Structure 1
């Protein structure tokens, strides 16, 4: 008889913390796993239709994101992910939990 250890369920974090001073978003799971993502990194990684369209229209140009952009609020989209609100007024993107985890690797 073999004994397999199941992989921890990291679908939904149990804590989401905005660190304004360091400009980081921290996600923590019950098993102690955590990730920390920069506000600018998150803003640059937006996958909304507007941001994706802009990247397609100007693929060779760096998408200028204000280096001082801050995450001002978050809205939970339940078990799907988070909607992030930024100081530049952008709040269209939905960031699925698995996408957020992939940004940390």
Structure 2
């Protein structure tokens, strides 16, 4: 299921997803960076490590990829593509 709208607030450091069922989910930029699904970040978490992410990190670009979005962060990280299902699961567990 794809969101019907996406918003990115630099000021509040939140990504907003509006889902077809009317739910609105807010995901913090720092948490999105910590949960990056790229292979490098995933391997780091599988080793039991928690990525150190500066609380001031921001999402500076949101690039649609059809099945999800690529998020570009202010720390230069841009490898992760976040599938819609992954974001929905993150939002549900927040």
| Both structures adopt the same fold (TM-score exceeding 0.5) | yes
Match of 1:101 among 72, 88, 94: 88
Give the corresponding residue for 1:18: 8
C-alpha contact 2:34 2:50 (8 A) present in aligned 1: no
Structure 2 residue matching 1:104: 3-state secondary structure: helix
Aligned residues: 92
1:1-105 equivalent positions in 2, closer than 5 A: 11-57=1-47, 59=48, 61-78=49-66, 80-105=67-92
User: Looking at CA atoms only, which structure, 1 or 2, has the larger radius of gyration?
Assistant: 1
Once the 2 structures are TM-superposed, how far is the Cα of residue 52 of structure 1 from its aligned partner? 1.6
Cα offset, 1:34, TM superposition: 1.2
- Cα distance, 1:99 vs structure 2: 0.7
Q: Which ranges of structure 1 fall in alignment gaps of 5 or more residues?
A: 1-10
What is the aligned-residue RMSD (CA, Å)? 1.3
Give the TM-score normalised by the residue count of structure 1.
Answer: 0.80
Richer in helix (by share): 2
Partners of 2:43 and 2:75 lie apart in 1 by: 18
